[in-house]
Amino acid sequence: MTIDIREASRAWTLEALGVVAGYGGRTILHQLDLRIRAGEIYALLGANGAGKTTALSLFLGFVAPTAGQVRVHGVDPVAQPGEARRHLAYIPENVALYEHLTARENVAYLLDLAGQNAGADAIARALAAAGLDAQAFDRRVGGFSKGMRQKVAIALALARQVPALLLDEPTSGLDPQATAEFSRLLQLLRAQGVAILMVTHDLLGAAHVADRIGFLDGGRLVEEVAAAGDERFDVRALHRRYAGQADALERSA
Ligand code: ATP
């Protein structure tokens, strides 16, 4: 019996297997194995320069591996970038929106760019589900806070019904209330079966929201722990180790 690789990798919405990648001949990621299934939140932690953003860039097709393979919902993002990105929403640290358009207009326009149509009702439902105050729907996003911008971006992901979400430092600069609300939103997306990969420095935030946490050190995944079961993470022990890693890095800088 032959196994269809595309079908087999569907079990994992986001998959990087044995990936070696970098920039201009300099290797940043060494044999990276990362797999996130539908309805799972995975937090990738690591010190500055560990390769977290590079790992996200793999799934967006911005960085091509020199070895190994990357799949987004079974699609190779280097060979078929458009097809892979159709299955993805990416929320960078600072969400870029059209400043002179309203929240509602941004979602409508960005959906249109993604080749999707949604009626006014569906857009309003997505903005409400993302927790944006109804009074803000028709305000220009120019004056929006970081938390409000994220809500617009999440509304877009909800309206697009993507199976995978990538987030870069989503909680940096958010106040505690906005962070709590953001965690609630991630749970909502998880309940809808979205595979979520977030890169962050925030161990406590990650431990609060993630199903699994992976630690990148010098482009290597040195540890992976789960929120439940026998390997359930001990946040204090992780913090000691994680802080130790950061200290070691600072000493060597
Ligand atoms: P941070 O927490 O500071 O954002 P990170 O873990 O996300 O760090 P990356 O941004 O992936 O790390 O960077 C990993 C390494 O790759 C760093 O040494 C960085 O200088 C290098 N790098 C990142 N982007 C590029 C690029 N476009 N061209 C060349 N080198 C790059």
> pLDDT confidence of 228, banded at 50, 70, 90?
low
Fold of 12-87+165-252: Rossmann fold (3.40.50)
Beta carbon of 63 within 6 Å of any ligand 1 atom: no
SS3 196: strand
Domain residue ranges of the chain, discontinuous segments joined by +: 12-87+165-252, 97-161
pTM of the model: 0.87
Between the CA of 26 and the centroid of ligand 1 the distance, in Å, is 11
Supply the Cα-derived Rg of the chain in whole angstroms. 18
Would you state the pLDDT for residue 244? 66
Average pLDDT over residues 69-87: 93
Alpha-carbon span 99 to 86, nearest angstrom:
24
Beta carbon of 48 within 6 Å of any ligand 1 atom: yes
| Burial class, 39, CB count within 10 angstroms (exposed 0-12 / middle 13-18 / buried 19+) | middle
> pLDDT confidence of 158, banded at 50, 70, 90?
confident
The protein residue whose alpha carbon is closest to atom 19 in ligand 1 is: 49
- Mutate which of 29, 48, 53 to test ligand 1's pocket (most atoms within 8 Å of Cβ)? 53
- Mutate which of 19, 20, 23 to test ligand 1's pocket (most atoms within 8 Å of Cβ)? 23
